[in-house]
Chain A
Amino acid sequence: MSDQTATAAIDIRKTSKIYGRDRDTGVVALDQVSLAIADNEFFTLLGPSGCGKTTLLRLIAGFEQPTEGEILLFGEHLEGLPPYKRPVNTVFQHYALFPHMTVAENISFGLEMLNTPASEIADTVKEVLGLVQMETLADRKTDQLSGGQQQRVALARALAPKPKVLLLDEPLSALDFKLRKEMQVELKRLQNETGITFIFVTHDQEEALAMSDRVAVMRDGLILQVGNPNEIYDRPAKRFVADFIGDINILKGKLLSQDGAQATVKLEAGYEGNAGLPMDVTNLGGEVSIAIRPEQLSFVAEAGAADLSGSIQHISYFGSGFDYEIMLPGGETIMLQLQNRGAGKRAYSVGDQAHIAISENSLQILAD
């Protein structure tokens, strides 16, 4: 473990940022956050606005200084270093391209500041323009570019000086849906090709799941959970994480027994089975919240094969499938999501009694 932290691209140790005089009267934007981001990782900070994700990014870039704690870049302390002495570059939310310079001048700016020889600058500019597929627009002024093109220039500009870490502050939020999808693929490709560590800030869970190697979910200046997209989606540790990412059912139940990260639970609605257990839940025999994704539920024909039963309250269509809202005997409602492919499916309508099966290993206990 210590070996891994020593080589971390970014190592954040108990770092806090407090705006104002002190913890009690000021605003705590980041609260004792510790986080290690590995080299060559596509790491995403995900959370709602005001959760501290942008603050964390600005601390790494050097635009803000931490109130307490330390930040290391490949083992070297960053505290006290101004932004221009940190080998990290930022892609800003609104790109912040220099309007009085051409695309090529924008991209060469960082290299010039590093006193790179002119011939090398020309080569690099060409190389990164190729990387973002903008070779033909080198001599344009930046205000003659579309939003997507500006985005690419901003990326090229930040990549040109070959930073050790690239920081991306919600760079896709200003793009329309289709372009955003395209850029997600593009960003992932760029990260693979350059081998540079990307730290990506977003409030969009879909973006986070689509691109990241690992995701940190943040709220109120705290990191709630760190894990790969699978873990975050399938094994959310906290109620907030489960709620924030995708659709989820949260049911009441009882913790019957536990064995490491596994537990047996009994849902209030009747079902008894295995569930994933986060570390900080220990109230054996007590009430717990249990999460299950709507797509982990399915209809079965016979009552004997069913884990749960209930009556259908509401059906909504979303194109590739249906969401069924089902009232369980205990009064809880549960959402079941069904894709409309496959044959032999019977059509349900509101008011029908339905039998539901739960996929194996899909229950997850949540901490509050």
Chain B
Amino acid sequence: MVDVTAAARKKVKDIDLKHQPGFSQIAWFCIAVLYAPIAVLVLFSFNENRSVTIWTQFSLDWYVKAWNNEGIQHAALVSLEVALVAMLLSTIMATMAALVTTRTAPYRGMNVAVAVINQPLMVPEVVTAVATLIFFAIIKQLTGISGIGYLIAAHTAFCVPFAYMPIRARLEDMDLSLEQAAADLYAPPFKVFRRVTLPLLMPGILAGAMLAFIVSLDDVIITLFVAGPGETTLPLYILGQIRRGVTPEINAVSTVFVGISVVLVSFIFLSGKDKK
């Protein structure tokens, strides 16, 4: 809508980093360093040979093998179950947290609440892992209850800040006057939420959910500490296999993982972009 004049455009161009000498070379170098290992991993997942370093011939054998491997199947199912439930729970909690930290009159302790929600991002994961392990051990001892619930609870807990960030960002971007307009047009609070806040917040919620899903899917450290017998997730399985030597089967599983991540991240990116 803003009409940028030619002069203004030229000025922007002068300041623009893209037009500094060496910019594209450095950019391509960084991208190569970041993605070359992944490219190699993907490449050797299609290797016909057992080796993950010497290329012989294209084949999908390792994908078939991985697909038929019961260990992988089981681990994938555990991962999916944990990630889906943790995603759902953490997104709901994060949405509520984001609403209460942006859509209420400022209250005492609001900043503290925001800090507490985001704190898990700052605490070293291994500390959280040990703390969770001990905490759950106490509960298990007192109640005698065991099961995958503990793993899901742990994942839900560390997913909340990840889901919270995009949802809160979206809410802060949203003009408060939209919700006031709805209230002014006779919508009681719940209807304001359902008809105006929620639909406009949806891209943020989806982004938060996807982020939570990915974070849960590839968590290793906390899972390693908390997972009980039979609760091996895919990353844990891969870690275990690597100790016995890497085969292209691991490459195949990892490639699928990368594929899921790429799809989800693209989704977050695109859904965040549509309204701007």
* A92 on the B face (CB < 8 A): yes
A 178-220 binary contact with B (CB < 8 Å = 1; else 0): 0000000000000000000000000000000000000000000
* A63 on the B face (CB < 8 A): yes
Q: How far is the CA of A365 from the CA of B165 in the complex (A)?
A: 61
Q: Which of chain A's residues have a CB closer than 8 A to the CB of B99? A: none
* A50 on the B face (CB < 8 A): no
Q: How far is the CA of A92 from the CA of B178 in the complex (A)?
A: 9
Q: Is B184 a contact of A94 with CB atoms below 8 Å?
A: no
CB contact between A84 and one of B175, B178, B186, B196 (< 8 Å): that residue: B186
* B200 on the A face (CB < 8 A): yes
Closest to A115 in B: B186
Whether A89 contacts B184 in the complex (CB less than 8 A), given A96-B175, A109-B195, comes out as yes
Closest to A63 in B: B180
Q: Give how many B residues have a beta carbon under 8 Å from the other chain's beta carbons.
A: 19
Q: How far is the CA of A109 from the CA of B179 in the complex (A)?
A: 12
Whether A161 contacts B185 in the complex (CB less than 8 A), given A92-B180, A94-B177, A96-B175, comes out as yes
Q: How far is the CA of A61 from the CA of B180 in the complex (A)?
A: 10
* B191 on the A face (CB < 8 A): yes
Q: Which of chain A's residues have a CB closer than 8 A to the CB of B275? A: 99
Q: Which of chain A's residues have a CB closer than 8 A to the CB of B186? A: 84-85, 110, 113-114, 161
Q: Which of chain A's residues have a CB closer than 8 A to the CB of B177? A: 92-94, 96
Whether A109 contacts B185 in the complex (CB less than 8 A), given A98-B178, A98-B196, comes out as yes
Q: Is B187 a contact of A113 with CB atoms below 8 Å?
A: yes
* A90 on the B face (CB < 8 A): yes
Q: Is B182 a contact of A109 with CB atoms below 8 Å?
A: yes
Q: Is B187 a contact of A109 with CB atoms below 8 Å?
A: yes
Q: How far is the CA of A260 from the CA of B220 in the complex (A)?
A: 89
Name, among A93, A96, A161, the residue most crowded by chain B CB atoms within 10 Å (CB to CB).
A96
Q: Is B181 a contact of A84 with CB atoms below 8 Å?
A: no
Q: Which of chain B's residues have a CB closer than 8 A to the CB of A63? A: 180, 183-184
Q: Which of chain A's residues have a CB closer than 8 A to the CB of B192? A: 84
Q: How far is the CA of A48 from the CA of B244 in the complex (A)?
A: 77
Closest to A167 in B: B184
Q: How far is the CA of A126 from the CA of B185 in the complex (A)?
A: 18
Residues of A with Cβ closer than 8 Å to B?
61-63, 82-85, 88-90, 92-94, 96-100, 109-110, 113-114, 157-158, 161
Given contacts A61-B184, A84-B192, A98-B196, 19 further A-B contacts (CB under 8 A): A63-B183, A63-B184, A83-B180, A83-B184, A84-B183, A84-B184, A84-B187, A89-B184, A96-B175, A96-B181, A98-B178, A98-B181, A99-B178, A99-B200, A99-B275, A113-B186, A113-B187, A158-B184, A161-B186
